Amino acid sequence: MQQVKLGIIGGGTVGSGVYDALQRNGALVASRLGVNVVVERVAVRDLKKVRAAKIPKTLLTTDWREVVFDPQVQLVAELIGGTTIAREAILAALKLGKPVITANKALLSAHGEELFAAAKKYGTNLYYEASVAGGIPIIKALREGFVGNRINALYGIVNGTCNYILTRMKLEGADFGAVLADAQRLGYAETPPDLDIDGHDAAHKTGILASLAHGFWINPKKIHVEGIRHISALDIKFAGELGYTIKLLGTVKKLEGNCRVQVSVYPTLVPNSHVLASVNGVFNAVFVRGDVVGDSLFYGRGAGKDATASAVLSDIGDAVLDLKSGAKNRLPAFVPHECSGAVAPIEEVTSQYFVRLNVVDKPGVLARIATIFGESNIGISSVIQPEGHEGKSVPLIFMMHYATNGAAMKALAKISKLPSVKGRPVMIRVESFE
């Protein structure tokens, strides 16, 4: 049987997972592809480290160049993370015409355009299934399964740490800080946790999905990102009473007019009747609305050794078939297409809103706030004043009709200056999935 020799850069969680999965299912992969994938070299930082996978010492090196430039290595998997050495190694491999597989969303977000241009220039391919939503084959679905669709909307729960925290806050009525500390103790959140809980990891993945769906590479600086730090047990409770669950959603929506797309990450009130509201714990899900297919849902494990290895193996399969057929970039992993679009500034995007204020409990306060919303042309769909005091103030909840984010933010800035409004107003967008 034909053999393809694989070089792996990185033998950590994902690298070990890929090595193990090939040991376990290599024969199955070979019988399906008609090609035997053999691991030729593995680069790591520390040769003495005890690893989850039993990688033979003879395969190990501390120099990634010994993987990339090894003439035996036909295919390279970059699994070290980071945006410097990983970029250098990928560019070097592509320059040699070797297909590359990466799980590195941070690198693709920052340098995707350059890397895909290099793959094209050197007549090879760059695969990245593992970079978004771990084991869910969403990249392949968008590239191949939905090749005949315009993607009018896409919503993703793509950060398992945030989803785990929000799920536990909802189930236990617990505060953010307490759940985060426990998640760190249990290994579900990193220390420091900022990349996840401030929404940046979700933004890297949402940007990659948006680029693929809309055919122009999204500049990560244009993505509006809000994390979940400010979400309180009270917000989750009141949202629940109104029939919603709060999720950190990556949103990619085609706006009216040509090629303007909303690309954002923020906590969102999802109606409990919508399937995304039931995606709990560390699970990920991506909801795609294509103009031909309609609505589709992808659900699964978004991270971890085995789920991520499964995605890398899928890419290995594609790359191996390309090598076998001699068509090195049969279906390039990313091709600019359709139009040169633009990300719409968040101020111009319209949303519905949940607004929670703490106000002094006296007559006239509600009228003053309603006047500011009215002057800003923002309609109130309902007002709720739940029982209970927070010191001398009481919570006041507004559900708002569609308005631009610019108008909503301006109105809230004015409202926050009213002497009767205490503390920072909370504004969470509401998604109706219409």
Ligand X SMILES: NC(=O)c1ccc[n+]([C@@H]2O[C@H](COP(=O)([O-])OP(=O)(O)OC[C@H]3O[C@@H](n4cnc5c(N)ncnc54)[C@H](OP(=O)(O)O)[C@@H]3O)[C@@H](O)[C@H]2O)c1
Tell me the closest approach of the beta carbon of residue 302 to ligand X, in angstroms: 7
Instruction: Work out whether 85 is an interface residue with ligand X (CB under 6 A).
Output: yes
Tell me the closest approach of the beta carbon of residue 218 to ligand X, in angstroms: 18
CA dihedral 288, 293, 295, 301 (to 10 degrees): -50
Instruction: Work out whether 44 is an interface residue with ligand X (CB under 6 A).
Output: yes
Q: Which stretch binds ligand X (CB under 6 A): 39-47, 278-286, 322-330, 420-428?
A: 39-47
Tell me the closest approach of the beta carbon of residue 9 to ligand X, in angstroms: 6
Instruction: Work out whether 73 is an interface residue with ligand X (CB under 6 A).
Output: no
Instruction: Work out whether 15 is an interface residue with ligand X (CB under 6 A).
Output: yes
Q: Out of 24, 49, 65, 362, which residue is the one contacting ligand X (CB under 6 A)?
A: 49
Tell me the closest approach of the beta carbon of residue 144 to ligand X, in angstroms: 21
Tell me the closest approach of the beta carbon of residue 160 to ligand X, in angstroms: 8
Instruction: Work out whether 358 is an interface residue with ligand X (CB under 6 A).
Output: no
Instruction: Work out whether 304 is an interface residue with ligand X (CB under 6 A).
Output: yes
Among candidate residues 205, 253, 254, 305, the one labeled active-site is 205
Q: Out of 18, 189, 303, 397, which residue is the one contacting ligand X (CB under 6 A)?
A: 303
Instruction: Work out whether 134 is an interface residue with ligand X (CB under 6 A).
Output: yes
| 185-to-170, 172, 225 alpha-carbon distances in Å | 19, 17, 26
Structure token pair of residue 215: 């055919």
Instruction: Work out whether 70 is an interface residue with ligand X (CB under 6 A).
Output: no
Instruction: Work out whether 79 is an interface residue with ligand X (CB under 6 A).
Output: yes
Residues 6 or more apart from 294 whose CB is under 8 A from it? none
Instruction: Work out whether 202 is an interface residue with ligand X (CB under 6 A).
Output: no
3-state secondary structure the chain: CEEEEEEEECCCHHHHHHHHHHHHHHHHHHHHHCEEEEEEEEECCCCCCCCCCCCCHHHEECCHHHHHCCCCCCEEEECCCCCCHHHHHHHHHHHCCCCEEECCHHHHHHHHHHHHHHHHHCCCCEECHHHCCCCCCHHHHHHHHCCCCCEEEEEEECCHHHHHHHHHHHHHCCCHHHHHHHHHHHCCCCCCCHHHHCCHHHHHHHHHHHHHHHCCCCCHHHCEECCCCCCCHHHHHHHHHCCEEEEEEEEEEECCCCCEEEEEEEEEEEECCCHHHHCCCCEEEEEEEECCCEEEEEEEECCCHHHHHHHHHHHHHHHHHHHHHCCCCCCCCCCCCCCCCEECCHHHCEEEEEEEEEEECCCCHHHHHHHHHHHCCCCEEEEECCCCCECCEEEEEEEEEEEEHHHHHHHHHHHHCCCCEEEEEEEEEECCCC
| 320-to-96, 102, 246, 261 alpha-carbon distances in Å | 16, 15, 42, 35
Binding-site size for ligand X (CB under 6 A) equals 25
Instruction: Work out whether 127 is an interface residue with ligand X (CB under 6 A).
Output: no
Instruction: Work out whether 208 is an interface residue with ligand X (CB under 6 A).
Output: no
Tell me the closest approach of the beta carbon of residue 89 to ligand X, in angstroms: 8
Q: Out of 32, 45, 121, 185, which residue is the one contacting ligand X (CB under 6 A)?
A: 45
Task: Check if 205 is active-site.
Answer: yes
User: Which residue's CB is nearer to ligand X, number 86 or number 263?
Assistant: 86
Structure token pair of residue 240: 């629940």
Q: Out of 74, 104, 211, 376, which residue is the one contacting ligand X (CB under 6 A)?
A: 104
Tell me the closest approach of the beta carbon of residue 62 to ligand X, in angstroms: 6
User: Which residue's CB is nearer to ligand X, number 304 or number 336?
Assistant: 304
Q: Out of 6, 8, 14, 212, which residue is the one contacting ligand X (CB under 6 A)?
A: 14
Instruction: Work out whether 163 is an interface residue with ligand X (CB under 6 A).
Output: no
Instruction: Work out whether 46 is an interface residue with ligand X (CB under 6 A).
Output: yes
User: Which residue's CB is nearer to ligand X, number 10 or number 290?
Assistant: 10
Q: How many CB atoms are closer than 10 A to CB 343?
A: 24
User: Which residue's CB is nearer to ligand X, number 52 or number 418?
Assistant: 52
Instruction: Work out whether 64 is an interface residue with ligand X (CB under 6 A).
Output: yes
User: Which residue's CB is nearer to ligand X, number 24 or number 32?
Assistant: 24
Instruction: Work out whether 10 is an interface residue with ligand X (CB under 6 A).
Output: yes
Q: What are the residues binding ligand X (CB under 6 A)?
A: 9-15, 43-46, 49, 64, 79-81, 85, 103-105, 130, 134, 303-304, 308
- Annotated catalytic residues are 205
